Each structure stands twice: as structure tokens, then as C-alpha cells.
Chain A
Amino acid sequence: MDVNFQFDWQAAFASLPHLVAGIPYTLLISFGGLAIGFFIGIFFGLLRISPVAWLRWPAIVYIEIFRGTPVLVQVLFIFYGLPQLLGGPINALVAGIAAIAVNSGAYISEIVRGGVQSIERGQREAGLSLGLSRVQTFRDIIWPQAFRRMIPSLGNQGIISIKDTSLFSVIGVGELVRQGQIYIATTFTALEVYLMVALLYLAITLSLSIALRMLERKGLVGQ
């Protein structure tokens, strides 16, 4: 390939040590937020399929609000807006984790709902007719099957949330993008540095994809 522009490989590699300093923050915010979001998602996902209306509606409201507003607006609201309501400051890292948690939680709620609803009714009837209680039936028969079906979608959401953390440079978290911006501010090597930033995100998301693929394979055997 014969490209006719100056790509400075040296500048690209020189930026790596500075960029790598942002990775812990990116991982902490995304995985911390996703871990909490996963439990939020199970909670609201199960409420969402409850036959009881007053249990179902709060879940619907929560899901629609956090699925229907941009994650950037959510984090700005949490970091700059909430302190005025709470009357106390919020740490930027906590604000970032909270934003990913409530945002991914809304999506994961829907993933949980879809997964559980995809299991044939016969499974529940079989469990009940074996004399298991409704809780046992759900926990031991429905949930394991449903969860296996959720894994691809959960992985997808994980990758989306990792990428969403790139927006949090605006609240002063020193994550990958912020590290890149600071570096470019003194070197003006936007092309090289942003390419490196992109490659680092790819490295993180690809590792997650591979880990999930192994998880799926594991889940399909020995059940």
C-alpha cells in the first residue's frame, strides 16, 4: 500500500505509556458499573415481568428513562446536578461508575426479561408438576437456561458500556480518551494518538469478546 502522508510511528509509540495510565480508570468504571448494573438488571428485569402491576410499573419507568436518555447527559446530571440536590459533593469516579450502572442496568433489565420470557412455558409446568416450589422452579430450571441465552447480549452490553466510558473525560476522570487529549495538547499528534487510543479500546473489547466466547462454550457443556 502506498500512502502519501506522514504517519509518525515514533510519536504513536511514545504516547503509549501515557495512554496506558488511563486504562485502569476505563476498566474500573466499566466493570464496576457493569457489576452493579448486572444486579440492577436482574432486579428490574424480574420486576418487569411480574404479573403485579405496581411492581411492574416502576421497572418500566426506570427502563424507559435510562434507556431513553444519553449516557453523557446522565453522567453530567449525576456529577454536576446531583450535588445540588444532595447538598454534598460527588467524586468523579463514583459518578462515572454510577452512570454506567444505571445505564447498563436499564439495558440489562430488558436482556433479563427477554431471556426469561424465551424459556418455554412447559419448563415451568414441568418443574411445578415435579413438586418444586415456584421459587425453586425459577432458580433451578428457568434461570440457568435463561441466563445461558442472555450471555451474548450481556457481552454486547459490556462492550457498549466500555466504549461509553470514553465520554467521561468531561467530568475529569483520567481515562483513556482524557489521557489522549492531554498528550495531544502538548504534541499536536492527533492522528497517531487517537489511532493508539482506538487500538487500546479494541484490545480491551476483544479480550472481553474472547473471554465471553470461552464462557459460552463452557456453559454449553456439562449441563
Chain B
Amino acid sequence: MKHPLKTLFLLSCFGMGLGFAGIANAQEETLDVVTDPSFVPFEMMDQDSGEMVGFDMDIINEVAERAGFEVNLRTMDFNGIIPAVQTGNVDIAIAGITITDERAEIVDFSDPYYDSGLRLLVGADDDSIETVEDLEGKTVATKIGSTSYDYLQENLGDSAEITPYPGSSDMYMALLGGSADAVFYDAPNVGYFSQTQGEGRARTVGPLYEGQQYGIVLVKDSEWVEPVNEALASMKEDGTYDEIHTKWFGSSSEE
């Protein structure tokens, strides 16, 4: 008579048990760190290990070790990252995030850890686009919530079809699939793509736009800002930063 209820309840418990079993236990001083699922070569999944790897990952792991916290890493679409730090739902974000005044109003940034900018990527056989001005009347892919999207809005407005995508792979697939004429996005990312998966199919053109700096994002007034900055400074001092930079970009930072 009461079997159905019991069985349903047991089923639920079984499902939840399975779920809990798959989730690691948290420890003391573990900070929730969030990153983007794909921003080569800063964060990407290593196909063999299934772990997130990249320049940012090496930086944050080293910072965590020096500042004294454990990293509990999650991924989130870029446009959700800063809101998640703003609410305090996560403690730290590292995802090639450009330091801007608007963002600094709602979250705290560490000292800059990487110099960047924006660049155009077009199809390998496309000669019609050299600069942002050439995008008029064309379709350009970029990422939701990114500085490149803001730049395009300001400089092109309605004169071009600006299509914002949630993920990097989405924009690149739009370019390779022909639904976009160009991608306008962070220079190291488009550069890396044009030399790896996009090789022979896409190339970077034009100058570097908008000199920018990336910073680690923390909750407003977080107690961790100071330890993170100290960790970054000591990494730059003892050569660890240059080691990581060389590993991912093939050259040491010209600082």
C-alpha cells in the first residue's frame, strides 16, 4: 500500500547518493575559483587528463600556493563570471579578464598580470578585411560581455552585424562555418587559435586595438586581494612568472 511512495523516495535517495558520491569534499580555506570553459591558451581542457590547463591555470595555482588557499575550480560562460563574483557566489575569477573602470566598481581586481589587446581574425582567403573599419556591412562574431563587444558597439554601432556568442568555440565555429565574416576578440586568443585549430583556415589581420591588461577578479573588499597581489609580485620577482609565460607564449614577458 505504501510501497509506491517508499520506492519513489528510495529512488530519489539513490540518485542523490550517486550525485554526492561524485562530488569531492571541500576543505578549509578552499576558495571557489571560476574560469571560462575555453579561452586558449589561458584556460582550456587538456584532452588526456580532463583537467583545465593554461596560462591562467598555472598562474592561479601558483598564486593559491603562495597565498595559502585551495582552489575549487568551476567553469562558467564568460558573461556570467563577473556577476557571480559580484554576488559573492564565487570568490575569485581568472579568465583573461580585462581591467576596466566599470568592472572595478562592482568587483576588486588584483594588480595586472598580463598585457593584452584586441585583434581581428578573418577567413584564410579573405582579403576584404584589414581593419575594424572594413567590417561595415559585414557580420562579426565576438563574445557576450567582453571588452571587444563594447569596442565594436562604440566604433561600428549599427553599420555592421555584431553577433555576440556565449563561448569562444561558438565564435570560431561561426567564422569557419561561414556564418560570420570575422571574429574580433582578445589578441592572444585569436593569435593562438590561428596557429592551432584554425591554421590554414583563418588568419589575424590589422593592428592591435585597445592596449589592455588582465587582472584576477575578487569579491569587492575581499581579504584575499593583498595576499594575491603579494603572490603575483613574488612570482614576477623570482622568475616563476616568466617561466609560466615562456611555457604558454614561447617567450618571456618584456617587463
Contact = CB atoms under 8 A, between A and B. Distances in A.
B91 to A, nearest CB: 9
B45 interface: yes
A218 B12 contact: no
Interface residues of A, number: 53
Query: Which of B12, B15, B50, B172 has the largest number of chain A CB atoms within 10 A?
Result: B15
Interface stretch (A48-56, A82-90, A129-137): A82-90
A151 B19 CA distance: 24
Interface stretch (B72-80, B146-154, B202-210, B228-236): B72-80
A211 B10 CA distance: 12
B25 interface: no
Interface residues of B, number: 46
A215 interface: yes
Interface string A20-58: 010111011111101100100000000000000000000
B135 interface: no
Given A38-B8, A172-B84, A185-B38, A223 B1 contact: yes
Contacts of A80: 80, 83-84, 87, 89
Interface stretch (A60-68, A118-126, A176-184, A195-203): A176-184
A151 B83 CA distance: 40
17 contacts: A24-B22, A27-B18, A28-B15, A28-B23, A35-B9, A35-B13, A80-B80, A80-B83, A84-B87, A89-B90, A172-B80, A174-B74, A178-B37, A184-B169, A190-B173, A215-B4, A215-B8
